[in-house]
Structure 1
Amino acid sequence: MKVQEIRELIKLVDQSGIDEFIFESAGSKLKMRKSTGTTTYAAAPEAPKPAVQQAPAIQHADSTPEVQEVPVPEAPKSAQSDSSLHKITSPMVGTFYESPSPDADVYVKPGSKIKSDSVVCIVEAMKLFNEIEAEIDGEIVEILVKDGQLVEYGQPLFLVKPE
Protein backbone atom coordinates (compact mmCIF):
# COMPACT_ATOMS: atom_id res chain seq x y z
CA MET A 1 0.00 0.00 0.00
CA LYS A 2 1.32 3.42 -0.92
CA VAL A 3 1.74 6.26 1.58
CA GLN A 4 -0.67 8.45 -0.38
CA GLU A 5 -3.36 5.74 -0.18
CA ILE A 6 -2.84 5.50 3.59
CA ARG A 7 -3.17 9.28 3.92
CA GLU A 8 -6.43 9.21 1.94
CA LEU A 9 -7.80 6.43 4.14
CA ILE A 10 -6.85 8.36 7.28
CA LYS A 11 -8.65 11.44 5.94
CA LEU A 12 -11.79 9.42 5.07
CA VAL A 13 -11.89 7.69 8.46
CA ASP A 14 -11.32 11.01 10.21
CA GLN A 15 -14.22 12.65 8.36
CA SER A 16 -16.59 9.70 8.87
CA GLY A 17 -18.46 8.44 11.90
CA ILE A 18 -16.36 5.27 12.00
CA ASP A 19 -14.48 4.75 15.28
CA GLU A 20 -12.24 1.90 14.13
CA PHE A 21 -11.07 0.72 10.72
CA ILE A 22 -8.98 -2.38 9.94
CA PHE A 23 -7.64 -3.21 6.48
CA GLU A 24 -5.64 -6.33 5.62
CA SER A 25 -4.06 -7.06 2.25
CA ALA A 26 -1.09 -9.11 1.01
CA GLY A 27 0.34 -9.69 4.48
CA SER A 28 0.02 -6.04 5.55
CA LYS A 29 -2.40 -4.83 8.19
CA LEU A 30 -3.61 -1.27 8.67
CA LYS A 31 -5.58 -0.37 11.81
CA MET A 32 -7.00 3.07 12.56
CA ARG A 33 -8.94 4.07 15.68
CA LYS A 34 -10.62 7.40 16.55
CA SER A 35 -11.95 6.63 20.03
CA THR A 36 -8.84 8.11 21.72
CA GLY A 37 -9.29 11.45 19.97
CA THR A 38 -6.48 10.76 17.50
CA THR A 39 -6.24 8.70 14.38
CA THR A 40 -3.48 6.12 14.53
CA TYR A 41 -2.21 3.56 12.11
CA ALA A 42 0.22 0.67 12.31
CA ALA A 43 2.12 -1.20 9.63
CA ALA A 44 4.16 -4.37 9.67
CA PRO A 45 7.34 -3.68 11.66
CA GLU A 46 10.69 -3.61 9.88
CA ALA A 47 13.41 -5.96 10.98
CA PRO A 48 15.85 -4.14 13.30
CA LYS A 49 19.35 -3.57 12.01
CA PRO A 50 21.83 -5.02 14.50
CA ALA A 51 24.69 -2.80 15.59
CA VAL A 52 26.58 -5.77 16.99
CA GLN A 53 26.69 -9.30 15.61
CA GLN A 54 26.49 -12.08 18.15
CA ALA A 55 28.64 -15.16 17.88
CA PRO A 56 27.01 -18.49 18.71
CA ALA A 57 26.57 -19.17 22.41
CA ILE A 58 29.23 -21.40 23.96
CA GLN A 59 27.77 -23.80 26.52
CA HIS A 60 30.02 -25.33 29.18
CA ALA A 61 28.76 -28.43 30.97
CA ASP A 62 28.81 -26.80 34.41
CA SER A 63 28.07 -23.13 33.63
CA THR A 64 25.58 -20.76 32.04
CA PRO A 65 25.73 -19.87 28.35
CA GLU A 66 28.40 -17.39 27.34
CA VAL A 67 27.71 -14.88 24.56
CA GLN A 68 30.57 -13.20 22.74
CA GLU A 69 29.95 -9.82 21.09
CA VAL A 70 31.76 -9.13 17.85
CA PRO A 71 31.75 -5.49 16.70
CA VAL A 72 30.49 -4.85 13.17
CA PRO A 73 33.08 -3.01 11.07
CA GLU A 74 32.09 0.54 10.22
CA ALA A 75 31.27 1.43 6.66
CA PRO A 76 33.81 3.71 4.99
CA LYS A 77 33.02 7.38 5.39
CA SER A 78 31.40 8.86 2.31
CA ALA A 79 31.75 12.37 1.06
CA GLN A 80 28.44 13.15 2.82
CA SER A 81 30.19 13.22 6.21
CA ASP A 82 32.65 15.93 5.09
CA SER A 83 31.46 19.18 6.72
CA SER A 84 33.48 21.36 4.31
CA LEU A 85 31.16 20.39 1.44
CA HIS A 86 28.13 22.48 0.47
CA LYS A 87 24.80 20.73 -0.10
CA ILE A 88 22.57 21.82 -2.96
CA THR A 89 19.06 20.98 -1.76
CA SER A 90 15.72 20.62 -3.50
CA PRO A 91 13.61 23.77 -3.20
CA MET A 92 10.40 21.75 -3.66
CA VAL A 93 8.80 18.33 -3.77
CA GLY A 94 9.01 16.82 -7.24
CA THR A 95 10.86 14.54 -9.63
CA PHE A 96 14.63 14.97 -10.12
CA TYR A 97 15.99 15.00 -13.68
CA GLU A 98 19.72 15.19 -14.42
CA SER A 99 19.28 16.35 -18.03
CA PRO A 100 16.90 18.62 -19.98
CA SER A 101 15.57 15.65 -21.99
CA PRO A 102 16.10 11.87 -21.99
CA ASP A 103 18.43 11.97 -25.01
CA ALA A 104 20.43 15.04 -23.87
CA ASP A 105 23.69 15.11 -21.89
CA VAL A 106 23.47 15.49 -18.11
CA TYR A 107 23.85 18.99 -16.67
CA VAL A 108 26.65 17.97 -14.27
CA LYS A 109 28.54 14.89 -13.12
CA PRO A 110 31.09 14.34 -10.35
CA GLY A 111 34.13 16.48 -11.14
CA SER A 112 32.13 19.14 -13.05
CA LYS A 113 33.11 22.75 -12.32
CA ILE A 114 30.09 24.96 -11.66
CA LYS A 115 29.34 28.64 -11.20
CA SER A 116 26.61 30.05 -8.98
CA ASP A 117 24.27 30.53 -11.97
CA SER A 118 24.94 27.07 -13.47
CA VAL A 119 21.87 24.86 -13.91
CA VAL A 120 22.59 21.55 -12.16
CA CYS A 121 19.27 19.73 -12.62
CA ILE A 122 15.53 20.03 -13.15
CA VAL A 123 12.87 19.34 -10.52
CA GLU A 124 9.46 18.74 -12.05
CA ALA A 125 6.47 19.63 -9.90
CA MET A 126 2.89 19.59 -11.18
CA LYS A 127 4.01 19.41 -14.85
CA LEU A 128 6.27 22.47 -14.41
CA PHE A 129 9.97 21.90 -15.07
CA ASN A 130 12.03 24.06 -12.68
CA GLU A 131 15.73 24.55 -13.44
CA ILE A 132 17.76 24.39 -10.24
CA GLU A 133 20.85 26.61 -10.09
CA ALA A 134 23.95 25.83 -8.04
CA GLU A 135 24.02 29.16 -6.13
CA ILE A 136 27.71 28.50 -5.36
CA ASP A 137 30.97 28.29 -7.31
CA GLY A 138 32.80 24.99 -6.96
CA GLU A 139 33.13 21.39 -8.09
CA ILE A 140 30.48 18.64 -7.94
CA VAL A 141 31.78 15.93 -5.59
CA GLU A 142 28.76 13.63 -5.43
CA ILE A 143 25.24 13.33 -6.87
CA LEU A 144 23.02 12.08 -4.05
CA VAL A 145 19.88 11.15 -6.06
CA LYS A 146 19.14 9.17 -9.19
CA ASP A 147 17.54 10.40 -12.40
CA GLY A 148 13.74 10.17 -12.15
CA GLN A 149 13.76 9.86 -8.34
CA LEU A 150 11.11 11.64 -6.27
CA VAL A 151 12.68 14.26 -3.99
CA GLU A 152 11.37 16.11 -0.94
CA TYR A 153 11.66 19.77 -0.02
CA GLY A 154 15.11 20.40 1.49
CA GLN A 155 16.50 17.00 0.44
CA PRO A 156 20.21 17.19 -0.49
CA LEU A 157 20.75 16.62 -4.22
CA PHE A 158 24.46 17.38 -4.71
CA LEU A 159 27.60 17.81 -2.64
CA VAL A 160 29.83 20.63 -3.85
CA LYS A 161 33.42 21.47 -2.92
CA PRO A 162 33.34 25.31 -2.76
CA GLU A 163 36.04 27.31 -4.55
Structure 2
Amino acid sequence: MKIQEIREIIKLVDGSSIEEFSYEFEGVKVKMKKNGSGTAQQTLNSAAQTPQQPKAVEAPSASAPTKESEAERLVSQETPEIPASSDSAYHKILSPMVGTFYESPSPEEAAYVQVGSKVTADQVVCIVEAMKLFNEIEAEVDGEIAEILVKDGQLVEYGQPLFLVKAN
Protein backbone atom coordinates (compact mmCIF):
# COMPACT_ATOMS: atom_id res chain seq x y z
CA MET A 1 0.00 0.00 0.00
CA LYS A 2 1.38 3.38 -1.00
CA ILE A 3 1.61 6.32 1.40
CA GLN A 4 -0.56 8.39 -0.96
CA GLU A 5 -3.34 5.78 -0.72
CA ILE A 6 -3.11 5.85 3.07
CA ARG A 7 -3.31 9.64 3.08
CA GLU A 8 -6.40 9.55 0.85
CA ILE A 9 -8.08 7.07 3.23
CA ILE A 10 -7.23 9.34 6.18
CA LYS A 11 -8.80 12.33 4.40
CA LEU A 12 -11.97 10.37 3.62
CA VAL A 13 -12.33 9.07 7.18
CA ASP A 14 -11.61 12.53 8.63
CA GLY A 15 -14.29 14.11 6.47
CA SER A 16 -16.93 11.51 7.27
CA SER A 17 -18.97 10.61 10.33
CA ILE A 18 -17.15 7.27 10.61
CA GLU A 19 -15.62 6.86 14.08
CA GLU A 20 -13.44 3.80 13.35
CA PHE A 21 -12.08 2.30 10.12
CA SER A 22 -10.14 -0.91 9.52
CA TYR A 23 -8.73 -2.21 6.22
CA GLU A 24 -6.56 -5.23 5.44
CA PHE A 25 -4.92 -6.01 2.11
CA GLU A 26 -1.97 -8.26 1.20
CA GLY A 27 -0.79 -8.61 4.79
CA VAL A 28 -1.01 -4.88 5.56
CA LYS A 29 -3.62 -3.73 8.03
CA VAL A 30 -4.62 -0.08 8.36
CA LYS A 31 -6.75 0.85 11.35
CA MET A 32 -7.94 4.38 12.03
CA LYS A 33 -9.95 5.62 14.97
CA LYS A 34 -11.07 9.19 15.53
CA ASN A 35 -10.21 10.66 18.88
CA GLY A 36 -12.44 13.09 20.77
CA SER A 37 -11.43 16.08 18.61
CA GLY A 38 -12.59 14.34 15.42
CA THR A 39 -9.15 13.76 13.89
CA ALA A 40 -8.14 10.34 12.62
CA GLN A 41 -5.27 8.37 14.14
CA GLN A 42 -3.67 5.61 12.10
CA THR A 43 -1.95 2.36 12.90
CA LEU A 44 -0.16 0.17 10.34
CA ASN A 45 0.30 -3.51 11.17
CA SER A 46 1.56 -6.48 9.24
CA ALA A 47 -0.63 -9.59 9.35
CA ALA A 48 1.62 -11.39 11.87
CA GLN A 49 1.53 -8.61 14.47
CA THR A 50 -1.03 -7.88 17.13
CA PRO A 51 -2.79 -4.49 17.09
CA GLN A 52 -0.99 -3.50 20.32
CA GLN A 53 2.38 -3.53 18.51
CA PRO A 54 2.18 -1.11 15.56
CA LYS A 55 5.20 -1.23 13.29
CA ALA A 56 6.05 0.14 9.86
CA VAL A 57 5.84 -2.46 7.11
CA GLU A 58 9.25 -3.57 5.77
CA ALA A 59 9.87 -2.78 2.13
CA PRO A 60 10.36 -5.92 0.01
CA SER A 61 13.77 -6.16 -1.60
CA ALA A 62 15.00 -8.24 -4.50
CA SER A 63 18.54 -8.14 -3.14
CA ALA A 64 19.78 -8.28 0.44
CA PRO A 65 17.22 -7.38 3.13
CA THR A 66 17.31 -3.81 4.38
CA LYS A 67 16.40 -2.36 7.77
CA GLU A 68 14.87 0.76 6.24
CA SER A 69 11.10 0.67 6.67
CA GLU A 70 8.62 1.46 3.90
CA ALA A 71 7.59 4.70 5.60
CA GLU A 72 11.21 5.84 6.01
CA ARG A 73 11.92 4.99 2.38
CA LEU A 74 8.90 6.97 1.18
CA VAL A 75 9.71 9.97 3.36
CA SER A 76 13.30 10.03 2.12
CA GLN A 77 12.03 9.66 -1.45
CA GLU A 78 9.62 12.58 -1.01
CA THR A 79 12.13 14.95 0.62
CA PRO A 80 15.41 14.74 -1.28
CA GLU A 81 18.61 16.09 0.25
CA ILE A 82 19.78 19.32 -1.33
CA PRO A 83 23.55 19.83 -1.25
CA ALA A 84 24.62 22.76 0.93
CA SER A 85 26.59 24.23 -1.96
CA SER A 86 23.37 24.56 -3.99
CA ASP A 87 21.92 27.09 -1.53
CA SER A 88 24.04 29.97 -2.79
CA ALA A 89 24.23 29.03 -6.46
CA TYR A 90 20.54 28.21 -7.08
CA HIS A 91 17.13 29.71 -6.40
CA LYS A 92 14.67 27.23 -4.87
CA ILE A 93 11.08 27.27 -6.06
CA LEU A 94 9.12 26.25 -2.96
CA SER A 95 5.66 24.76 -2.66
CA PRO A 96 3.31 27.44 -1.31
CA MET A 97 0.96 24.80 0.11
CA VAL A 98 0.41 21.14 0.95
CA GLY A 99 -0.88 19.28 -2.09
CA THR A 100 -0.10 17.06 -5.06
CA PHE A 101 2.62 18.10 -7.53
CA TYR A 102 1.82 17.86 -11.24
CA GLU A 103 4.45 18.58 -13.89
CA SER A 104 1.92 19.15 -16.70
CA PRO A 105 -1.54 20.69 -17.15
CA SER A 106 -3.02 17.25 -17.94
CA PRO A 107 -1.73 13.67 -18.23
CA GLU A 108 -1.82 13.83 -22.05
CA GLU A 109 0.27 17.00 -22.28
CA ALA A 110 4.01 17.55 -21.98
CA ALA A 111 5.59 18.82 -18.77
CA TYR A 112 5.74 22.59 -18.27
CA VAL A 113 9.53 22.43 -17.85
CA GLN A 114 12.39 19.95 -17.89
CA VAL A 115 15.95 20.12 -16.64
CA GLY A 116 17.70 22.66 -18.87
CA SER A 117 14.53 24.62 -19.72
CA LYS A 118 14.90 28.41 -19.77
CA VAL A 119 12.24 30.12 -17.61
CA THR A 120 11.06 33.65 -16.91
CA ALA A 121 9.86 34.91 -13.53
CA ASP A 122 6.17 34.79 -14.47
CA GLN A 123 6.30 31.43 -16.31
CA VAL A 124 4.25 28.52 -14.90
CA VAL A 125 6.53 25.59 -14.01
CA CYS A 126 4.04 23.19 -12.38
CA ILE A 127 0.68 22.78 -10.66
CA VAL A 128 0.07 21.96 -7.00
CA GLU A 129 -3.42 20.58 -6.42
CA ALA A 130 -4.98 21.15 -3.02
CA MET A 131 -8.59 20.28 -2.23
CA LYS A 132 -9.50 19.93 -5.93
CA LEU A 133 -8.07 23.39 -6.72
CA PHE A 134 -5.24 23.46 -9.24
CA ASN A 135 -2.73 26.19 -8.33
CA GLU A 136 -0.22 27.25 -10.98
CA ILE A 137 3.27 27.76 -9.56
CA GLU A 138 5.49 30.33 -11.27
CA ALA A 139 9.29 30.32 -11.57
CA GLU A 140 9.73 33.58 -9.57
CA VAL A 141 13.12 34.26 -11.28
CA ASP A 142 14.58 34.30 -14.77
CA GLY A 143 16.97 31.41 -15.31
CA GLU A 144 17.41 27.76 -16.20
CA ILE A 145 15.89 24.72 -14.46
CA ALA A 146 18.86 22.92 -12.89
CA GLU A 147 16.99 20.18 -11.04
CA ILE A 148 13.44 18.92 -10.50
CA LEU A 149 13.27 17.75 -6.88
CA VAL A 150 9.88 15.98 -6.88
CA LYS A 151 8.09 13.45 -9.07
CA ASP A 152 4.82 13.86 -10.91
CA GLY A 153 1.89 12.95 -8.65
CA GLN A 154 3.95 13.20 -5.46
CA LEU A 155 2.50 14.79 -2.32
CA VAL A 156 4.40 17.92 -1.31
CA GLU A 157 4.53 19.90 1.93
CA TYR A 158 4.35 23.64 2.52
CA GLY A 159 7.77 25.17 1.88
CA GLN A 160 9.18 22.00 0.28
CA PRO A 161 11.63 22.76 -2.57
CA LEU A 162 10.22 21.72 -5.96
CA PHE A 163 12.86 23.02 -8.36
CA LEU A 164 16.38 24.45 -8.34
CA VAL A 165 16.81 27.29 -10.81
CA LYS A 166 20.17 28.69 -11.89
CA ALA A 167 19.26 32.38 -11.91
CA ASN A 168 20.45 34.68 -14.71
| Alignment TM class, shorter chain as reference | 0.5 to 0.7
Q: Residue 95 in 1 paired to residue 100 in 2? A: yes
Question: Structure 2: which amino acid aligns with 1:151?
Answer: V
In the other structure, the counterpart of 1:43 is: 55
TM-score, normalised to structure 1, is: 0.59
**1:84-110 deviations in whole A, cap 9, x for unaligned?**
111111111111111111111211101
> Matched residue pairs, number?
119
Identify if the C-alpha distance between structure 1 residues 7 and 122 changes in structure 2 by more than 3 Å, giving closer, same or farther.
farther
Question: Structure 2: which amino acid aligns with 1:150?
Answer: L
TM-score, normalised to structure 2, is: 0.57
In the other structure, the counterpart of 2:111 is: 106
In the other structure, the counterpart of 2:62 is: none
> What is the alpha-carbon root mean square deviation over aligned residues?
3.3
Identify if the C-alpha distance between structure 1 residues 25 and 43 changes in structure 2 by more than 3 Å, giving closer, same or farther.
closer
Question: Structure 2: which amino acid aligns with 1:127?
Answer: K
Cα distance in 1 for residues equivalent to 2:44 and 2:83: 40
Identify if the C-alpha distance between structure 1 residues 27 and 44 changes in structure 2 by more than 3 Å, giving closer, same or farther.
farther
* 8 A contact 1:85–1:159 mirrored in 2: yes
* 8 A contact 1:79–1:141 mirrored in 2: no
Question: Structure 1: which amino acid aligns with 2:139?
Answer: A
| Among candidates 137, 141, 146, match of residue 142 of structure 2 | 137
In the other structure, the counterpart of 2:152 is: 147
Shift of 1:148: 1.0
* 8 A contact 2:45–2:56 mirrored in 1: no
Tell me the secondary structure at the aligned position of residue 100 of structure 2: strand
* 8 A contact 1:80–1:159 mirrored in 2: no
Cα distance in 2 for residues equivalent to 1:126 and 1:145: 20
Q: Which runs of 5+ in 2 are unaligned?
A: 11-20, 22-29, 38-42, 59-66, 69-80
Cα distance in 2 for residues equivalent to 1:140 and 1:116: 12
